[in-house]
Amino acid sequence: MRTLSCLAAVAFLLAAMTATASQTAVAPGRLIRVPEDVATPRQAIEAAQPGDVILLADGTYDGGLVVPKGKTDLTIRGASRSGVIFDGKGLNLNAIEVEADRVTLENLSAHDFDGNGFYWEQVEGFTGRYLTVWNVNLYGIYATESRGGIFEHSLVSGAADAAFYVGECQPCDTSVHDVEGRLSAIGYSGTNTGAGLELVASKWDRNGTGILPNSFDEQARPAPESQSRIDGNTVVDSGTVPVPAHTPLAGYIGIGIGVLGGNANVITNNTITGSDRYGIALFPSLQRSGAVYAASANEIRGNTVSGSGTADLAVAPMLGTGGDPNCFAENTTDSSLPANLAEVQACGSAGGIDGDPSVGADLSIPVPVALDKLATLGPRPDYRSMPAPETQPNTPDALPAGLRTYRSEGIGSTALVGAAGAVAVIVVIGILVVARRRR
């Protein structure tokens, strides 16, 4: 009986050890330092568990990193924003691609990637903050088919597609605020976004087009784009300087804020100056299938628009597609097309004329025609030739409290549990031997 009791004790002890080891293996909250704990960022991602923070020392990294779906709730952070640099050398596609939910990238820089800088795809929850990206052939900071995100305190320059992109999310529940996009084909692009997308308190400087929510078929989420809130942005000199162009949307150049076939957007309290063609323009999106998406039921209120080459406010005819009329109120402008736009399409009125034919001739065109117009402006600069931005501020936030230390030599918490288990087994064996001798 004593032997059986000892065996039961052994079984209980081993079960408790197994449970403890299992809990330790999945416990979050370690700090993994590169290169102190592991040699490379890729090895750090492989070693990471949910809740871990990967801290990259100052240096230049190749990029091409992928955070796979199982690696949720990670933070990848640079020791300093200007000192941790991913260099694509014009060859690598992405600096970091994230496929896992709730991953934060912060205090990092990236440049010269043939695709994107920092990229989230099909995730629930994402954060990009204190990031700098310059000179990329597609998007700088990019989220697609993802929702519940934040882009903040970041800068992108010289993106040949869009500096910032949030698209194909319905709903989106995503905030883009306190960012700057400059010298890119488009400052912000959002294709087929839905409810909960807000673009606020940001600067868009000398892009081909500043802000362009848009609707297109053959995407991961159906058209049209709708319900974006665009508030308190500053948009400067759109279309006035040559920028890289590697997107069909680059053909709609010279617009401060455009709505390309989107509806029910609220565009308020923005300041738009010096656009080459239009300050704010609403126009339909023409599809290859022959379908047309109207820009309808958009509210344009309280904006200050000046210095536009063609018109500060403009609406194209919506080509018989129907939808509720757009409305304008309390805007400060010098010109509009139609000329009496503020009166005939005032918010709260029954609506009036459908738009100005000259704006339609200019903007209500298929993408290939828009690209042909872009070509008449002369050659576009190569994305790798654009100037690097000035040094940007680091995150002021400290590392999360309570992070445990990751030890690459293997003497971490899991190894200690294993060592303790070995000792316990030796002790139990000793107990069994003594019990057997006493029988």
Residue 341 has pLDDT above 50, yes or no: yes
Burial class of residue 232 in the structure, from the number of CB atoms within 10 Å of its CB (0-12 exposed, 13-18 middle, 19+ buried)? middle
| Contact by Cβ (8 Å): 99, 67 | yes
Total-model pTM: 0.87
pLDDT tens digits, one per residue of 402-413: 899 997 444 343
Query: Residue 2 has what pLDDT?
Result: 36
For residue 298, give every residue at least 6 positions away whose Cβ sits within 8 Å of its Cβ, in sequence order, or none. Answer: 259, 262, 263, 264, 265, 266, 267, 282, 326, 327
Q: Is the peptide bond before 325 cis (omega within 30 degrees of 0)?
A: no
Average confidence (pLDDT) over 223-245: 98
Reference 168, options 189, 148, 194; nearest CA is 194
Helix%, strand%, coil% for the chain, nearest 5: 20, 35, 45
* 215 three-class SS: coil
- Compare 177 and 401 and report the one with higher pLDDT: 177
**What's the mean per-residue pLDDT of the chain?**
88
For the chain, give the percent of residues with pLDDT over 70. Answer: 85
Which residue in the block uniquely carries the two structure tokens 């600096």? 95
Average confidence (pLDDT) over 123-147: 98
Structure tokens at 176: 């883009």
For 109, 110, 312, the CA distances from 93, given in Å and listed in that order, are: 15, 12, 38
Phi-psi label, residue 254: left if phi above 0, alpha if psi -120 to 50, beta otherwise: left
Every domain of the chain and the residues it spans: 2-20+417-438, 161-379
A 10 A CB-CB count for 71 gives 21
Residue 38 has pLDDT above 50, yes or no: yes
Helices within 158-239 (DSSP H only): none
How sure is the predictor about 219, in pLDDT bands with cuts at 50, 70 and 90? very high
Query: Residue 351 has what pLDDT?
Result: 65
Structure tokens at 240: 């006035």
Give the C-alpha separation, 274 to 254, whole Å.
Answer: 9
For 223, 251, 362, 386, the CA distances from 369, given in Å and listed in that order, are: 21, 8, 10, 27
- Compare 412 and 196 and report the one with higher pLDDT: 196
Range of weakest confidence among 13-22, 67-76, 181-190:
13-22
Structure tokens at 118: 């920092």
- Compare 91 and 20 and report the one with higher pLDDT: 91
Return the biggest CA–CA distance within the chain. 107
Query: Residue 438 has what pLDDT?
Result: 44
Tell me the CB-side half-sphere exposure of residue 360, using CA atoms within 13 A.
Answer: 15
Range of weakest confidence among 221-230, 267-276, 292-301, 347-356:
347-356
Residue 421 has pLDDT above 80, yes or no: no
Strands 285-286 and 292-293: antiparallel
Residue 301 has pLDDT above 60, yes or no: yes
For 41, 140, 294, 319, 360, the CA distances from 286, given in Å and listed in that order, are: 44, 27, 9, 10, 11
For 12, 75, 418, 421, 422, the CA distances from 432, given in Å and listed in that order, are: 15, 48, 21, 16, 15
For the chain, give the percent of residues with pLDDT over 90. Answer: 77
Radius of gyration of the chain measured on its C-alpha atoms: 28
Residue 25 has pLDDT above 60, yes or no: no
For 60, 108, 130, 248, the CA distances from 80, given in Å and listed in that order, are: 12, 7, 10, 36
**Beta strand spans in 145-216 (E):** 147-152, 155-159, 162-167, 174-177, 180-182, 186-191, 197-200, 203-205, 209-214
Residue 296 has pLDDT above 90, yes or no: yes
Of these ranges, 204-208, 289-293, 337-341, the one predicted with the greatest mean pLDDT is 204-208
